[in-house]
Amino acid sequence: MNLNEALPLLVLGSSLVPGLIIFFLAETRFRLRTALNLAGAIIKLLLIGYMIWGVMDNQSYHFRHTVLPGLDLALKADALAILFVSLSGALWLLTTLYAIGYLEDSPHRSRFFGFFSLCVTATVGIAMAANLFTFFFFYELLTLSTYPLIVHRGTDVAIRGGNTYLAYTLTGSAVLLTGVVWLYDLLGQVDFTYGGTVASLGSEYDGQLKIIFVLLIAGLGVKAAIVPLHGWLPQAMVAPAPVSALLHAVAVVKAGAFGIVRVVYEVYGAEFSESLGVLPPLAVAAAVTIVWGSLRAIWQDNLKRRLAYSTISQISYIILGTAMLGLISTVGGVVHLVHQGIMKITLFFCAGNYAETLGVHKISGMNGAGRRMPLTSAAFSIAALGMMGAPLTAGYVSKSYLSEGAQQANIIWAEWVLTASGVLNAIYFLPILYRLWFKSQPPAWPRKHIQARGGKETAWLLLIPPLVTAAATLAAGIFSESNWSPLFWVKIIAVREYSP
């Protein structure tokens, strides 16, 4: 096994191994646990960096293990995989830092960080999966490793939320599994390849392929929280803030969206999907989700709940972009995969800071928090503006590509949906910003969890991650045309998808 084969495994191992070790560490081994976590995250980033460099240099990284004849566990690092892997790697490091600060005194930290690492491993596996079987393998591993995180607090609400989560996701994956096995039955090994492999089957299979498509999308749609399969997401926000952050930005919902991207472009192929006539319904579903999620968000007073509904809406931007045939909409959709991640994780970090520092969980209690916690609130504001699609932010980039793509694909209603969603986003985010900055502080905050040290508004481990991601939000917007921006990378991917 040469290095090129081993690299995907090493990337997986960099989070898996620390995770497994952490499981069996005593609660009190705080330093060792932290060191392992950070070392794993940093090694992962370094390996990813090496891979990016290699991919640009036209190196290919493949790993293949035959489980059964005709059933391989295969990993590869192509451009799309790298995009998602780097997102998860980077955000894992930040979230780990954040979680260390966040969970300083809570019980069962070994368990938490163990599953946290497993969760990242699964996400990375999903990103690098080279065929549908591998994808499904890690997709389920993700489900299993996130469940203990959601129920981590052990309260009744947490456990109910966890059960709802499991009920939804397991049902979804059962449906997905049916589709996957069916496709394997028709095609043999279903590798992800540019332009897709399904088209070769011939037209007599069109009927079956449509059904399989529905099964696959329905299965993936549960995690991607497409209405009406989204019920678990608002309930799962009972998890600790770092978990919500990871769940909403990188791991679970993204895995679903990423899967849809893979299925549409690299299993069915964009053109073939279009000719099969399955894309318009998907686009409609995405549109409905966008509007519905935004509408529901407006009525939520609990900050994390509002963010959760916002996630439902935002994820479907990716799906909408994927479902509209055309290079530009693809770019818009896929780049939103990254941009939404950065922005949403910022928002959740901030929400966690408000809750942990001030004891504020509700939007109605956030009056004047901007003056009490200026840095956090600044980060929050940047991310919120990005969500609304304000210029100079990452959100602006993705949304403009999406609406341009809708024009190009000549889907007028999609443009209306995007506009309407922008308005709705403003309706549910602007009041928060208003409360943060322009309302006066209450006489006392509900409670103080974390002592501010050295005159800072909160513990520095809680402060750095949102600031970094907020900066990234701005950077991705301002330097979108540079060679290092996600946009540039996504353009490469999109070109490959359309000219296999």
Q: Which residues bind another protein (CB under 8 A)?
A: 23, 65-69, 71, 73, 107-108, 111, 133, 136-138, 140-141, 143-144, 148, 151, 154, 156, 159, 162-163, 166-167, 170-171, 173-175, 177-178, 181-182, 184-185
Closest separation between CB of residue 189 and another protein, Å? 13
Please say which residue, 70 or 391, places its beta carbon nearer to another protein: 70
Task: Give the pair of three-digit tokens for residue 29.
Answer: 């081994």
Write the CB contacts of 163 (distance below 8 Å, at least 6 apart in sequence). Answer: none
DSSP E strands: which ranges in 3-153? 62-68, 71-76
Task: Give the pair of three-digit tokens for residue 433.
Answer: 């910003």
Please say which residue, 15 or 421, places its beta carbon nearer to another protein: 15
Contact 393, 402 (CB under 8 A): no
Closest separation between CB of residue 152 and another protein, Å? 8
C-alpha–C-alpha distance, residues 251 and 92, integer Å = 10
Give the residues across from 66 on adjacent strands: 72
C-alpha–C-alpha distance, residues 140 and 126, integer Å = 10
Please say which residue, 97 or 175, places its beta carbon nearer to another protein: 175
Helix, coil or strand: residue 302: strand
Task: Give the pair of three-digit tokens for residue 198.
Answer: 């399904």
Q: Is 165 left (phi over 0), alpha (psi -120 to 50) or beta?
A: alpha
Closest separation between CB of residue 108 and another protein, Å? 6
C-alpha–C-alpha distance, residues 285 and 464, integer Å = 37
Task: Give the pair of three-digit tokens for residue 428.
Answer: 């549910």
Closest separation between CB of residue 58 and another protein, Å? 30
The CA–CA distances, whole Å, from 337 to 30, 266, 358, 399, 409 equal 34, 17, 31, 12, 20
Closest separation between CB of residue 178 and another protein, Å? 6
Closest separation between CB of residue 73 and another protein, Å? 7
Closest separation between CB of residue 225 and another protein, Å? 20
Contact 449, 356 (CB under 8 A): yes
Closest separation between CB of residue 404 and another protein, Å? 40
Please say which residue, 140 or 415, places its beta carbon nearer to another protein: 140
Helix, coil or strand: residue 131: strand
Closest separation between CB of residue 18 and another protein, Å? 17
Contact 152, 186 (CB under 8 A): no
C-alpha–C-alpha distance, residues 462 and 100, integer Å = 9
Question: If you write DSSP's letter for every residue of 199-264 in order, what string do you get?
Answer: GGG-GGGHHHHHHHHHHHHHHHHHHHT-TTS-THHHHHTTS-HHHHHHHHHTSHHHHHHHHHHIII
Q: How many CB atoms lie within 10 A of CB 401?
A: 26
Closest separation between CB of residue 67 and another protein, Å? 6
Token pair 């799309």 is found at 80
Please say which residue, 4 or 171, places its beta carbon nearer to another protein: 171
Please give the DSSP secondary-structure letter assigned to residue 129: B
Please say which residue, 59 or 178, places its beta carbon nearer to another protein: 178
Length of the chain: 500
Please say which residue, 93 or 122, places its beta carbon nearer to another protein: 122
Please say which residue, 82 or 212, places its beta carbon nearer to another protein: 212
Closest separation between CB of residue 213 and another protein, Å? 16
Please say which residue, 68 or 444, places its beta carbon nearer to another protein: 68
Task: Give the pair of three-digit tokens for residue 315.
Answer: 């994820």
Please say which residue, 141 or 392, places its beta carbon nearer to another protein: 141
Give the residues across from 75 on adjacent strands: 63, 129
